[in-house]
Amino acid sequence: MKKVMNPAFLKRRVIQLMLLLAGNAIDAMGIALFILPAGFIVSGATGMGRILSYALGGTWNVSACVMLFNVLLFLLAWICMGKHMAATIVIGTFTFPVFLDVFEHIPVFMNLTDNPIISMICGAMCLGVGTGIVIRAGGSTGGADVIPIILHGKKDLPIAPVMYVLDCIIMLFQIPWATKEQILLGILTEFITAIVLDKVQVIGGGEVQFLIFSRKSEEINRELLMLDAGTTLLHGQGGYKGRDEDVIICIVSSRKMREIKDAVLDIDPVAFMTISSVQEVSGRGFSLDRKTGMV
């Protein structure tokens, strides 16, 4: 109850909510204003919705089909991974298709450009920025992301390769309804989106390193371990007062950056932290299996 009444805690949650809404809105804007009008093949839940819309002969629009898939995948996440997992994707699950439908029906945004190159660049920029904001805020766009996350939790399969394979399958199923140009530009859109997303996250290799200095290091360390984040404690000494304290080193994926940061600040609002991008991480939990220690 104390966390809920803490003004700093409330402020962070409000900012997080605003970022999640803004990210999903930018994502939907890129799809509705540039990708769908140009007819590009697209990955994720939007691609799944597009396939269903085509299969139904257009009787359902894409946003309605995306909402259907998102709800089904949300329920699947709830059943397979529990309510905590479902809570992390609930905003993206329901707000993205709503934003998509809104942008599709605003007259001033219709037919912004007939140039496919401009559509590709603008669409990819919106997707990269929007998804990057959502991930940095500690959320998920929901939709097709749920499948690799579930497989990772149940079968310990790596998220990124499974997601790439799934996206490729979704894009392949759209080929019968696309021209050669739309196929090529759709693939280029995915590459540009990935580059922009990486820049927005400001994380070269997908992981970040925390250095945490706090008088409550023991309590913080226990909380991070409960969040399934590996930690290392180093003995430190304050340079000014010479006070002994433990320094916590923690390396996690970019998707958990916001969760870890908030967990530390909830325990110690005045904790000193540095967050750095990590170019490459090897070892147990990263390049080696967390349980067996094997590649």
Mean pLDDT of 174-194: 94
Give the pLDDT band of residue 172 (cuts 50, 70, 90). very high
Q: Reading across the β-sheet that carries 231-237, which strands appear in turn?
A: 231-237, 244-253, 207-213, 272-278
208 versus 3: the higher-pLDDT residue is 208
**For residue 235, what is the enclosing H or E element?**
strand 231-237
Report CA-CA distances (Å) from 41 to 88, 163, 171: 27, 16, 6
Report CA-CA distances (Å) from 4 to 97, 137, 198: 30, 19, 33
pLDDT in tens, 124-165: 999 999 988 887 777 777 678 788 878 877 877 777 788 889
Burial of 244 from C-beta contacts in 10 A (0-12 / 13-18 / 19+): exposed
In the prediction, which pLDDT does 293 show? 53
Residues 32, 109: contact at Cβ < 8 Å?
Answer: yes
User: Domain map of the chain by residue range?
Assistant: 2-201, 207-278
* Cα–Cα distance measured from residue 49 to residue 28, given in angstroms and rounded to the nearest whole number: 13
In the prediction, which pLDDT does 58 show? 86
* Cα–Cα distance measured from residue 227 to residue 236, given in angstroms and rounded to the nearest whole number: 24
Is residue 276 scored above 90 in pLDDT? no
Pull the structure tokens for residue 248: 């916590």
222 versus 205: the higher-pLDDT residue is 222
Is residue 22 scored above 90 in pLDDT? yes
Mean pLDDT of 27-37: 95
* Cα–Cα distance measured from residue 43 to residue 50, given in angstroms and rounded to the nearest whole number: 10
pLDDT in tens, 219-274: 999 999 998 888 999 988 878 777 888 899 999 877 788 889 999 999 999 999 99
Is residue 35 scored above 90 in pLDDT? yes
Give the class (CATH, top level) of 207-278. alpha beta
Is residue 1 scored above 50 in pLDDT? no
* Cα–Cα distance measured from residue 277 to residue 285, given in angstroms and rounded to the nearest whole number: 17
Residues 91, 139: contact at Cβ < 8 Å?
Answer: yes
